Chains A and B, each alone.
Chain A
Amino acid sequence: MAETRQAARPLSPHLQIYRFTITMAMSIIHRITGVGLYAGTLLLAAWLLSVAMGPDAYATFQSVAGSWLGQLILFGFTWALLHHLFSGIRYLMWDNIRAFELRQADFISWGAAVLGFAATIIVWIVAFKLRGVL
Protein backbone atom coordinates (compact mmCIF):
# COMPACT_ATOMS: atom_id res chain seq x y z
CA MET A 1 0.00 0.00 0.00
CA ALA A 2 2.98 2.28 -0.37
CA GLU A 3 2.19 5.60 -2.03
CA THR A 4 3.23 5.56 -5.61
CA ARG A 5 3.34 9.33 -5.92
CA GLN A 6 5.54 11.48 -3.72
CA ALA A 7 3.46 13.81 -1.54
CA ALA A 8 4.16 17.56 -1.76
CA ARG A 9 6.59 18.64 0.88
CA PRO A 10 4.86 20.32 3.83
CA LEU A 11 5.29 24.07 4.19
CA SER A 12 5.79 25.66 7.56
CA PRO A 13 2.80 27.78 8.57
CA HIS A 14 3.04 31.50 7.81
CA LEU A 15 1.56 34.67 9.35
CA GLN A 16 -2.12 34.17 8.45
CA ILE A 17 -2.31 30.92 10.41
CA TYR A 18 -1.57 32.52 13.78
CA ARG A 19 -3.91 34.29 16.20
CA PHE A 20 -3.24 38.03 16.54
CA THR A 21 -1.01 38.94 19.46
CA ILE A 22 0.23 42.40 20.41
CA THR A 23 3.85 41.21 20.52
CA MET A 24 3.56 39.94 16.95
CA ALA A 25 1.95 43.17 15.74
CA MET A 26 4.57 45.26 17.53
CA SER A 27 7.35 43.20 15.97
CA ILE A 28 6.01 43.93 12.49
CA ILE A 29 5.46 47.64 13.28
CA HIS A 30 8.96 47.88 14.74
CA ARG A 31 10.40 46.73 11.45
CA ILE A 32 8.14 48.96 9.33
CA THR A 33 8.91 52.07 11.41
CA GLY A 34 12.61 51.17 11.22
CA VAL A 35 12.50 51.10 7.43
CA GLY A 36 10.51 54.35 7.43
CA LEU A 37 13.05 56.04 9.68
CA TYR A 38 15.81 54.79 7.39
CA ALA A 39 14.27 56.77 4.54
CA GLY A 40 13.49 59.62 6.92
CA THR A 41 17.18 60.24 7.61
CA LEU A 42 17.18 61.96 4.21
CA LEU A 43 14.96 64.64 5.81
CA LEU A 44 17.46 65.13 8.62
CA ALA A 45 20.32 65.41 6.13
CA ALA A 46 18.30 67.85 3.98
CA TRP A 47 17.49 69.99 7.02
CA LEU A 48 21.14 70.23 8.12
CA LEU A 49 22.37 70.82 4.56
CA SER A 50 19.81 73.59 4.02
CA VAL A 51 21.07 75.43 7.12
CA ALA A 52 24.67 74.90 5.96
CA MET A 53 23.92 76.22 2.46
CA GLY A 54 22.35 79.51 3.51
CA PRO A 55 19.14 81.51 3.95
CA ASP A 56 17.67 80.71 0.51
CA ALA A 57 18.07 76.95 0.86
CA TYR A 58 16.71 77.14 4.42
CA ALA A 59 13.67 79.10 3.26
CA THR A 60 13.01 76.47 0.59
CA PHE A 61 13.29 73.67 3.16
CA GLN A 62 10.94 75.49 5.53
CA SER A 63 8.29 76.08 2.88
CA VAL A 64 8.36 72.40 1.86
CA ALA A 65 8.36 71.21 5.51
CA GLY A 66 5.61 73.67 6.34
CA SER A 67 3.27 72.55 3.55
CA TRP A 68 0.42 70.23 4.53
CA LEU A 69 2.18 67.28 2.91
CA GLY A 70 5.45 68.18 4.64
CA GLN A 71 3.68 68.44 7.99
CA LEU A 72 1.96 65.08 7.42
CA ILE A 73 5.30 63.42 6.64
CA LEU A 74 6.93 65.08 9.67
CA PHE A 75 4.06 63.88 11.88
CA GLY A 76 4.57 60.35 10.56
CA PHE A 77 8.32 60.67 11.11
CA THR A 78 7.77 61.83 14.72
CA TRP A 79 5.46 58.89 15.42
CA ALA A 80 7.78 56.38 13.74
CA LEU A 81 10.74 57.64 15.77
CA LEU A 82 8.93 57.66 19.13
CA HIS A 83 7.19 54.35 18.48
CA HIS A 84 10.45 52.70 17.43
CA LEU A 85 12.14 54.17 20.52
CA PHE A 86 9.60 52.81 23.04
CA SER A 87 9.20 49.56 21.13
CA GLY A 88 12.99 49.20 21.03
CA ILE A 89 13.27 49.61 24.80
CA ARG A 90 11.24 46.37 25.08
CA TYR A 91 13.90 44.50 23.14
CA LEU A 92 16.62 45.86 25.42
CA MET A 93 14.53 44.70 28.40
CA TRP A 94 14.04 41.24 26.92
CA ASP A 95 17.77 41.03 26.17
CA ASN A 96 18.23 41.40 29.92
CA ILE A 97 15.47 38.87 30.72
CA ARG A 98 13.11 41.54 32.04
CA ALA A 99 9.31 41.36 31.53
CA PHE A 100 9.76 37.92 29.98
CA GLU A 101 6.50 36.41 31.27
CA LEU A 102 3.72 36.34 28.68
CA ARG A 103 1.45 38.82 30.46
CA GLN A 104 4.35 41.18 31.21
CA ALA A 105 5.50 40.98 27.60
CA ASP A 106 1.97 41.84 26.42
CA PHE A 107 1.74 44.67 28.95
CA ILE A 108 4.96 46.41 27.93
CA SER A 109 4.02 45.96 24.27
CA TRP A 110 0.70 47.73 24.70
CA GLY A 111 2.51 50.25 26.89
CA ALA A 112 5.08 51.03 24.20
CA ALA A 113 2.35 51.45 21.57
CA VAL A 114 0.39 53.85 23.80
CA LEU A 115 3.48 55.79 24.91
CA GLY A 116 4.72 56.19 21.33
CA PHE A 117 1.39 57.60 20.23
CA ALA A 118 0.90 59.81 23.30
CA ALA A 119 4.42 61.23 23.07
CA THR A 120 3.84 62.07 19.40
CA ILE A 121 0.69 64.01 20.25
CA ILE A 122 2.52 65.87 23.05
CA VAL A 123 5.43 66.80 20.75
CA TRP A 124 3.00 68.23 18.18
CA ILE A 125 0.98 70.14 20.76
CA VAL A 126 4.26 71.71 21.95
CA ALA A 127 5.24 72.44 18.32
CA PHE A 128 1.95 74.23 17.64
CA LYS A 129 2.16 76.12 20.95
CA LEU A 130 5.69 77.29 20.13
CA ARG A 131 4.49 78.58 16.77
CA GLY A 132 1.56 80.31 18.45
CA VAL A 133 -1.01 78.29 16.49
CA LEU A 134 -2.60 76.82 19.61
Chain B
Amino acid sequence: MAASASNSPVKAATRAFSIQRKSALALIPLALFLIALILALSGTDYETARHYLGNPIVSLLVIVTILATVAHMRIGMNEVIEDYVHGSFLHVLAKTVNILFCVAVGLGSIYAALKILIGF
Protein backbone atom coordinates (compact mmCIF):
# COMPACT_ATOMS: atom_id res chain seq x y z
CA MET B 1 0.00 0.00 0.00
CA ALA B 2 2.77 2.37 0.90
CA ALA B 3 4.50 1.74 -2.40
CA SER B 4 1.38 2.44 -4.47
CA ALA B 5 0.68 5.62 -2.48
CA SER B 6 4.19 6.95 -3.10
CA ASN B 7 3.74 6.33 -6.83
CA SER B 8 0.55 8.36 -7.08
CA PRO B 9 0.67 11.30 -9.53
CA VAL B 10 0.10 13.79 -6.71
CA LYS B 11 3.02 12.48 -4.66
CA ALA B 12 5.20 12.42 -7.77
CA ALA B 13 4.34 16.04 -8.55
CA THR B 14 5.08 17.12 -4.98
CA ARG B 15 8.37 15.27 -5.15
CA ALA B 16 9.27 16.93 -8.47
CA PHE B 17 8.37 20.34 -6.99
CA SER B 18 10.65 19.68 -4.03
CA ILE B 19 13.56 18.25 -6.06
CA GLN B 20 13.38 21.19 -8.49
CA ARG B 21 13.86 23.69 -5.66
CA LYS B 22 16.51 21.73 -3.78
CA SER B 23 18.54 21.17 -6.96
CA ALA B 24 18.13 24.87 -7.83
CA LEU B 25 19.53 25.86 -4.45
CA ALA B 26 22.45 23.44 -4.83
CA LEU B 27 23.14 24.65 -8.36
CA ILE B 28 23.67 28.28 -7.30
CA PRO B 29 27.17 27.58 -5.92
CA LEU B 30 27.76 24.58 -8.20
CA ALA B 31 27.08 26.51 -11.42
CA LEU B 32 29.45 29.27 -10.24
CA PHE B 33 32.05 26.58 -9.46
CA LEU B 34 31.61 25.13 -12.94
CA ILE B 35 32.09 28.54 -14.59
CA ALA B 36 35.21 29.15 -12.50
CA LEU B 37 36.57 25.72 -13.44
CA ILE B 38 35.95 26.20 -17.15
CA LEU B 39 37.48 29.69 -16.93
CA ALA B 40 40.59 28.34 -15.20
CA LEU B 41 40.98 25.63 -17.85
CA SER B 42 40.00 27.63 -20.94
CA GLY B 43 42.85 27.55 -23.39
CA THR B 44 45.15 25.45 -21.19
CA ASP B 45 47.02 22.42 -22.48
CA TYR B 46 45.86 18.84 -22.09
CA GLU B 47 48.08 17.98 -19.11
CA THR B 48 46.83 20.96 -17.09
CA ALA B 49 43.18 20.17 -17.84
CA ARG B 50 43.66 16.52 -16.88
CA HIS B 51 45.58 17.46 -13.74
CA TYR B 52 42.81 19.80 -12.49
CA LEU B 53 39.94 17.48 -13.40
CA GLY B 54 41.81 14.55 -11.84
CA ASN B 55 41.85 16.26 -8.45
CA PRO B 56 39.50 14.25 -6.17
CA ILE B 57 37.74 17.32 -4.77
CA VAL B 58 37.24 18.88 -8.21
CA SER B 59 36.06 15.51 -9.53
CA LEU B 60 33.56 15.10 -6.69
CA LEU B 61 32.21 18.62 -7.24
CA VAL B 62 31.91 18.00 -10.99
CA ILE B 63 29.97 14.77 -10.38
CA VAL B 64 27.65 16.44 -7.85
CA THR B 65 27.10 19.29 -10.31
CA ILE B 66 26.20 16.80 -13.05
CA LEU B 67 23.74 14.95 -10.78
CA ALA B 68 22.03 18.17 -9.65
CA THR B 69 21.93 19.45 -13.25
CA VAL B 70 20.41 16.27 -14.67
CA ALA B 71 17.77 16.12 -11.91
CA HIS B 72 16.92 19.80 -12.45
CA MET B 73 16.74 19.71 -16.23
CA ARG B 74 14.64 16.55 -16.41
CA ILE B 75 11.92 18.18 -14.31
CA GLY B 76 12.20 21.48 -16.20
CA MET B 77 11.84 19.83 -19.60
CA ASN B 78 8.99 17.69 -18.26
CA GLU B 79 7.12 20.90 -17.41
CA VAL B 80 7.73 22.29 -20.89
CA ILE B 81 6.46 19.04 -22.43
CA GLU B 82 3.35 19.08 -20.24
CA ASP B 83 2.60 22.63 -21.40
CA TYR B 84 3.22 22.26 -25.12
CA VAL B 85 3.21 18.63 -26.25
CA HIS B 86 -0.31 17.27 -26.43
CA GLY B 87 -1.66 14.04 -27.81
CA SER B 88 -1.03 10.89 -25.82
CA PHE B 89 1.53 9.31 -28.15
CA LEU B 90 3.71 12.41 -28.66
CA HIS B 91 3.40 13.27 -24.98
CA VAL B 92 4.69 9.88 -23.82
CA LEU B 93 7.36 9.85 -26.54
CA ALA B 94 8.64 13.32 -25.57
CA LYS B 95 8.78 12.39 -21.89
CA THR B 96 10.62 9.17 -22.69
CA VAL B 97 13.15 10.94 -24.91
CA ASN B 98 13.62 13.50 -22.13
CA ILE B 99 14.53 10.77 -19.63
CA LEU B 100 16.84 9.03 -22.11
CA PHE B 101 18.62 12.32 -22.92
CA CYS B 102 19.13 13.17 -19.24
CA VAL B 103 20.40 9.67 -18.43
CA ALA B 104 22.75 9.70 -21.44
CA VAL B 105 24.22 13.11 -20.59
CA GLY B 106 24.52 12.14 -16.93
CA LEU B 107 26.15 8.76 -17.53
CA GLY B 108 28.46 10.08 -20.26
CA SER B 109 29.67 12.97 -18.10
CA ILE B 110 30.11 10.89 -14.94
CA TYR B 111 31.90 8.15 -16.89
CA ALA B 112 34.30 10.79 -18.24
CA ALA B 113 34.84 12.36 -14.81
CA LEU B 114 35.58 8.95 -13.25
CA LYS B 115 37.86 7.94 -16.12
CA ILE B 116 39.89 11.12 -15.62
CA LEU B 117 39.98 10.56 -11.86
CA ILE B 118 40.86 6.87 -11.80
CA GLY B 119 42.31 6.46 -15.28
CA PHE B 120 40.78 3.11 -16.26
Q: Give the interface of A toward B (CB within 8 A).
A: 31, 34-35, 37-38, 41-42, 44-45, 47-49, 51-52, 54-55, 58-59, 62, 66, 78, 81-82, 85, 88-89, 91-92, 95, 123, 126-127, 130-131
Question: CA separation between A127 and B39, bound complex, in Å?
Answer: 6
| B113 nearest in chain A by CB position | A48
Residues of B within 8 A of A59 (CB): 46
Nearest CB on B from A110, distance (A): 20
6 A-B residue contacts at CB 8 Å? A34-B80, A51-B49, A51-B50, A51-B53, A82-B35, A131-B42
Contacting pair B49 A58 (CB below 8 A): yes
* Residue tally, chain B, CB below 8 Å to A: 35
Contacting pair B43 A131 (CB below 8 A): yes
Contacting pair B46 A52 (CB below 8 A): no
Contacting pair B109 A51 (CB below 8 A): no
| A81 nearest in chain B by CB position | B31
Across the A-B interface, give the 9 residue pairs with the lowest CB-CB distance, nearest first: A48-B112, A52-B112, A52-B115, A55-B46, A49-B112, A45-B109, A45-B108, A131-B43, A58-B46
What is the 8 Å Cβ interface bit string for chain B, positions 6-18, against chain A (1 contact, 0 not)? Answer: 0000000000000
Contacting pair A49 B28 (CB below 8 A): no
Using known A-B contacts A35-B77, A38-B76, A81-B35, determine if residue A51 contacts B46 with beta carbons closer than 8 Å: yes
Contacting pair A48 B27 (CB below 8 A): no
Question: CA separation between A42 and B5, bound complex, in Å?
Answer: 36
Q: B73 within 8 Å of A by Cβ?
A: yes
Q: Give the interface of B toward A (CB within 8 A).
A: 21, 24-25, 27-28, 31-32, 34-35, 38-40, 42-43, 46, 49-50, 53, 62, 66, 69-70, 73, 76-77, 80, 101, 105, 108-109, 111-113, 115-116
Residues of A within 8 A of B115 (CB): 52
Residues of B within 8 A of A131 (CB): 42-43
| A58 nearest in chain B by CB position | B46
Nearest CB on A from B46, distance (A): 4
Question: CA separation between A54 and B42, bound complex, in Å?
Answer: 16
Question: CA separation between A52 and B115, bound complex, in Å?
Answer: 6
Contacting pair A38 B77 (CB below 8 A): yes
Contacting pair B21 A41 (CB below 8 A): no
Residues of A within 8 A of B73 (CB): 34, 37-38, 41
